[in-house]
Amino acid sequence: MTEQRKYYLPFVMLSVVLLLSLVINIGLGSVSIPPDEILTAILGGETEKGPWSYIVWNYRIPKALTAILVGSGLSLSGLLMQTLFRNPLAGPFVLGISSGASLGAALLIMGSSLISGWFTFGLINDISLALASSLGSFLVLLIVVVVATRVKDSMALLIIGLMFGSITAALVTVLSYFTNAEELQQYIFWSFGTVGNLSWIQLLLLSVAIMVGIVLSILSLKSLNALLLGEQYAISMGVRIKQSRYIIIVATGIMAGAVTAFAGPIAFIGLAVPHLTRQIFNTTDHKILVPAVLIYGAILLLLCDTFAQLPMSAYVLPINAITSIIGAPVVIWLLVRKKKMIF
């Protein structure tokens, strides 16, 4: 009980930081809105200017909630993959699921150049992009699950997943070569990643996918802890390796695929947050790591999105650039300071 209690204070502090990050993210933007007016809009009151309430409820709050879900989902996916493959460089997209989503988006956006202009003309919008990306990630996930039934070695599965990613990336390159400049630019903008374009319905679908992944991860806590010492040790502890592998792959696929479908391929978060969490909490127990990475991931992406939107400016920088510029030096500093990687 004492061992668990020592983590209470860090979790309380993290929760406070998460709340502050959420407040800051909602409070800043291209339109200057007084804090009391933001609170009035959140509580359902009438603001001094009518558009303020619309901005808060239809842009800022959905964007902040999207950042929380995306950051949490990617961070947990990265933790699952690093544990399953016992590889500190594994991330949420090592199985090629993100590449499958990117291929789905590329086929929708750039496919008209290879098929016919009428096939996709006028059909490209946020919903169709999400559907195409989801279909691409689901198909790759289905293939990976089928392959997992025939492969006993997790490292072989990792290599196969990387090969799937290479194949889909090559197909996207071919599409990019034959497409016109306008469609290529649209795909590039999608690949930058964003958390600001989701409607409440899309946000609900994303939250359901993330919750499914969290539930599957909680059900796999014993397996995750056992896998840290190798598959043979896990078997000796009574863990069903194949079943656990399927659950972990499906959980990762659902979360990473949904995030890529709705927010685009956002880099760095899934790879770095698990390492940050291990360094700060100094533990490998997934009963602590799972909730910790969920909170850390949400905080980090909220802060990155706050910097990306350049407060009081009409410009919004690509979220992918901000996550790497801000996050990578932090990870390097932590690893150099600690002089070793906890894994």
Residue 7 tokens read as 């983590």
**Widest CA span of the chain, in angstroms?**
66
Q: Give the count of alpha carbons within 13 A of 11, CB side only.
A: 13
CB 301 within 8 A of CB 70: yes
Average pLDDT over the chain reads 83
pLDDT in tens, 148-200: 778 777 778 888 888 888 888 888 888 888 888 888 888 888 888 889 888 88
* Domain limits, the chain: 2-338
- What is the structure's pLDDT at 118? 43
pLDDT in tens, 256-301: 889 988 998 898 898 889 988 988 888 889 999 999 999 999 999 9
**Does residue 128 surpass a pLDDT of 60?**
yes
Question: What does pTM read for this prediction?
Answer: 0.89
SS3 state of residue 62: helix
For the chain, list the strands marked E by DSSP: none
Measure the CA–CA gap between 330 and 318, rounded to whole angstroms: 19
Crossing angle, helix 8-27 and helix 35-42, to 10 degrees?
A: 100
The residue with greater pLDDT, 46 or 271, is: 271
CB 149 within 8 A of CB 258: no
Give the class (CATH, top level) of 2-338: mainly alpha
User: What totals of helices (H) and strands (E) does the chain contain, helices first?
Assistant: 17, 0
